[in-house]
């Protein structure tokens, strides 16, 4: 490994740690309040209290999103690898994305919305 290689590795590690605080802050964020479902047809914002099954039109077909027990996850999607279905429930900082259908399920953290404030306190 040359000095340049070590520099590249250090840069990748540094970038990872630069981005990490937002993910850590999301993990310690107050309980989620809302769910944002983005699809080619538009954006739908729901409260986690709005339990139910929601069907959104993706590029390849219908993507089914379930909201229950203060969680949101993709139940069914017409995509080749089913990654979105295997990703589990969406969390703050860890959205569930169905790239082939252009659908994403994000969870909005509660407590005022600005997650970074929880880190700087």
CA proximity to 40, closest of 100, 92, 118, 116: 100
Q: How far, in Å, CA of 6 to CA of 90, rounded? A: 35
Residue 85's CB: how many other CB atoms inside 10 A? 17
Q: How far, in Å, CA of 28 to CA of 15, rounded? A: 21
CA proximity to 113, closest of 26, 15, 24, 18: 26
# chain residues binding another protein, by CB under 8 A: 39
Q: Does 20 bind another protein (CB under 8 A)?
A: yes
The residue range among 22-30, 47-55, 65-73 that interacts with another protein, by the rule CB under 8 A, is 22-30
Q: Does 13 bind another protein (CB under 8 A)?
A: yes
Cβ atoms 105, 74 nearer than 8 A: yes
The residue range among 27-35, 46-54, 68-76, 92-100 that interacts with another protein, by the rule CB under 8 A, is 92-100
Least distance to another protein from the beta carbon of 70, Å? 19
Q: Compose the 47-66 pattern: x for residues touching another protein by CB under 8 A, - for all others.
A: ------------x-------
Which residues of this chain interact with another protein, rule CB under 8 A?
A: 1-5, 7-9, 12-13, 15-16, 19-20, 22-23, 26, 36, 38, 40, 43, 59, 80-83, 86-87, 93-95, 97, 99-104, 106
């Amino acid at each position: 490994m040359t000095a340049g290689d070590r520099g590249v590795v250090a840069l990748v590690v540094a970038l990872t740690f630069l981005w990490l605080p937002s993910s850590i802050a999301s993990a310690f964020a107050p309980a989620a309040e809302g769910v944002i479902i983005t699809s080619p047809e538009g954006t739908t914002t729901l409260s986690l209290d709005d339990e139910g099954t929601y069907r959104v039109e993706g590029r390849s077909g219908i993507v089914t999103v379930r909201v229950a027990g203060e969680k949101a996850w993709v139940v069914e999607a017409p995509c080749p690898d089913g990654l979105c279905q295997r990703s589990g429930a969406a969390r703050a900082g860890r959205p569930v994305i169905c790239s082939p259908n252009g659908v994403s399920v994000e969870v909005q953290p509660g407590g005022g919305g600005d997650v970074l404030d929880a880190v700087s306190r």
